[in-house]
């Protein structure tokens, strides 16, 4: 098979690694890719936000399957354009991608489908939104309705900050803000492959660490690390999430005439009153994917096309994000990264690239806020952690920072109110 992977982050490098070891894959293109994907997949330039450009490239490549990594092309209709040209694609239509593209839409679907989620109301005007803010009370949860690259959510005890977030969300005439009830409890990410015939196949549950600093401090980021599976979770957790969340959502989307296919990512809070959906995404999560795919033992194309139920090797996987100086506010770019080969040489370690490129001398330099996803597997979480942090210590990047508590059992959040 010839495969086109669209995107340029750690998630796409992980997808490319898994595809490169799939015996069915004989040609791999990653557009635009990064310095890591370029070692295993042919790089092509691409404006990922342009659905036509994605479809034209799929045609040029002669892709038997196009795998769309990020949400922006999906929400813009890239999967529809590829399908319209008669080519196979992994990813939902624009109509189904609204589950991520509009938080208010996702709430409507969940309400109709009886899926447990935080109580919420949405507004287009500041005054009624502020009145509602006080009706919900602190901690305040304020969300910009549309895509915001992980920056659209404010969770705060501070009313002034919540008011500022409401105002910031309602700048333009088409803007909408969602206010919702605060959910207390550990967060879990469950990804499910949804086939075009509506079959659902969950992957391993994972936990993402969204705050920039150790002990869940500082601002939210795109994700600073993840681990899988969850040693503290009940055995039936995935089945419960499929039954209460994924199945009813997939059925409701089909009932509306906008069936979902691709990957449905449920971000959940396990509250004292049961599980609640925090958000839906319509694509593989980053960095959870890096850890999950490290344990996948089934060929990835078989999983994406629904031919096989995904299976995983035993043990654990962890990914630690190495971020650029200044991330998440204003990452500094263009710094040389050294020690990559020494880190990658460790047993069980895979140094996945995210924001990297090669400069004119062939040196790998930083080119994004999240620079690397250092991923390791082990027979258990402790050994995977040891390997990942040993690898991180071999890498040098001026001003880089990373969390030291990814997958640390004493710091894992697994009980409500902890
Ligand atoms: P989202 O982009 O919707 O996943 O929100 C980003 C992060 O904000 C989540 O991972 C949670 O940590 C936090 N968050 C979102 N909604 C809520 C909520 N209703 N209650 C508590 N925390 C939330
Ligand atoms: N891990 C969070 C995300 O992919 O949105």
Nearest to 179 by CA among 130, 243, 246, 231: 130
Same domain, 24 and 88: yes
Residue nearest to atom 4 of ligand 2 (CA): 285
Q: Please tell me if the CB atom of residue 281 comes closer than 6 angstroms to any atom of ligand 2.
A: yes
Q: Please count the structural domains in the chain.
A: 2
Same domain, 38 and 73: yes
The answer to whether the beta carbons of residues 180 and 136 sit under 8 Å apart is yes
Same domain, 67 and 136: no
In a domain, residue 87? The reply is yes
Residue nearest to atom 7 of ligand 1 (CA): 153
pLDDT at 417: 44
In a domain, residue 54? The reply is yes
Structural domain for 51, as ranges? 2-94
The CATH number of the domain holding residue 171 is 3.30.1490.20
Q: How far is CA 116 from CA 185, 225, 309, 312, in A?
A: 14, 27, 27, 28
In a domain, residue 187? The reply is no
Same domain, 153 and 83: no
pLDDT (tens digit per residue) in 206-221: 999 999 999 989 888 8
Q: How far is CA 395 from CA 290, 315, 360, 387, 400, in A?
A: 18, 25, 21, 13, 10
In a domain, residue 24? The reply is yes
- DSSP-based three-state secondary structure for 274: strand
pLDDT (tens digit per residue) in 380-397: 999 999 999 999 999 999
Q: Which residues of the chain have pLDDT under 50?
A: 417-418
Same domain, 69 and 23: yes
The neighbour count for residue 120, using CB atoms within 10 Å, is: 19
Cα-to-centroid distance, 411 and ligand 1 (Å)? 19
Decide which of 94, 110, 141 is a domain's last residue.
94
Same domain, 76 and 138: no
In a domain, residue 195? The reply is no
In a domain, residue 80? The reply is yes
Cα-to-centroid distance, 362 and ligand 2 (Å)? 31
pLDDT (tens digit per residue) in 302-345: 999 999 999 999 999 999 999 999 999 999 999 999 999 999 99
In a domain, residue 112? The reply is no
Question: Which residues line ligand 1 at a C-beta cut-off of 6 Å?
Answer: 118, 141, 153, 155, 180, 182-183, 187, 210, 220, 267, 278-279
pLDDT at 150: 66
The CATH number of the domain holding residue 67 is 3.40.50.20
Q: Please tell me if the CB atom of residue 288 comes closer than 6 angstroms to any atom of ligand 2.
A: yes
Task: Say how far apart CA 285 and CA 292 lie, in whole Å.
Answer: 10
Q: Please tell me if the CB atom of residue 286 comes closer than 6 angstroms to any atom of ligand 2.
A: yes
Decide which of 94, 127, 160 is a domain's last residue.
94
Same domain, 37 and 77: yes
In a domain, residue 377? The reply is no
Q: Which of 71, 281, 323 to mutate to test the pocket of ligand 2 (most atoms within 8 A of CB)?
A: 281
Mean predicted lDDT score pLDDT of the chain: 94
Same domain, 126 and 74: no
Same domain, 10 and 86: yes
Same domain, 60 and 137: no
Decide which of 59, 94, 129 is a domain's last residue.
94
């Amino acid at each position: 098979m010839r495969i086109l992977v669209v995107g340029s982050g750690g998630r796409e490098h992980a997808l490319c690694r898994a595809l490169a070891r799939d015996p069915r894959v004989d040609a791999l293109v990653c557009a635009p890719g990064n310095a890591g994907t370029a070692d295993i997949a042919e790089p092509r330039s691409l404006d990922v936000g342009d659905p036509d450009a994605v479809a034209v490239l799929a045609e040029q490549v002669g892709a038997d399957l196009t795998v769309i990594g990020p949400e922006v092309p999906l929400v813009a209709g890239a999967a529809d354009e590829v399908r319209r040209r008669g080519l196979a694609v992994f990813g939902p239509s624009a109509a189904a991608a609204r589950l991520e593209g509009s938080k208010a839409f996702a709430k409507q679907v969940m309400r109709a489908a009886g899926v447990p989620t935080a109580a919420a109301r949405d507004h287009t005007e500041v005054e009624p939104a502020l009145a509602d803010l006080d009706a919900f009370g602190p901690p305040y949860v304020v969300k910009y309705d549309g895509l915001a690259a992980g920056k659209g959510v404010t969770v705060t005890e501070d009313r002034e900050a919540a008011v500022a977030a409401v105002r910031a969300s309602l700048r333009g005439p088409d803007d909408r803000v969602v206010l919702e009830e605060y959910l207390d409890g550990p967060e879990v990410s469950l990804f499910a492959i949804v086939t075009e015939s509506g079959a659902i196949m969950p992957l391993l549950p994972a936990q993402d660490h969204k705050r920039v600093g150790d002990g869940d401090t500082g601002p939210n980021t795109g994700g600073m690390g993840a681990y899988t599976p969850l040693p503290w979770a009940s055995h039936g957790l995935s089945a419960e999430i499929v039954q209460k969340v994924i199945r009813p959502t997939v059925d409701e989307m089909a009932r509306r005439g906008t069936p979902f296919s691709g990957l449905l990512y449920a971000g959940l809070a396990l509250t004292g009153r049961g599980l609640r959906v925090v958000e839906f995404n319509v694509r593989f999560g980053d960095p959870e994917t890096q850890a999950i795919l490290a344990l996948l033992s089934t060929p990835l194309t078989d999983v994406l096309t629904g031919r096989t139920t995904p299976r995983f090797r035993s043990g654990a996987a962890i990914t630690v994000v190495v971020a650029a100086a200044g991330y998440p506010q204003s990452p500094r770019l263009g710094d040389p990264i050294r020690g990559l080969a020494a880190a990658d040489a460790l047993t069980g370690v895979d140094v996945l690239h995210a924001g990297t490129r090669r400069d004119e001398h062939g040196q790998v330099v930083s080119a994004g806020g999240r620079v690397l996803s250092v991923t390791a597997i082990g027979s258990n979480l402790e050994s995977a952690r040891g390997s990942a942090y040993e690898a991180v210590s071999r890498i040098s990047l001026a001003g880089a920072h990373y969390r030291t508590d990814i997958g640390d059992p004493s710091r894992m959040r697994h009980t409500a109110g902890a």
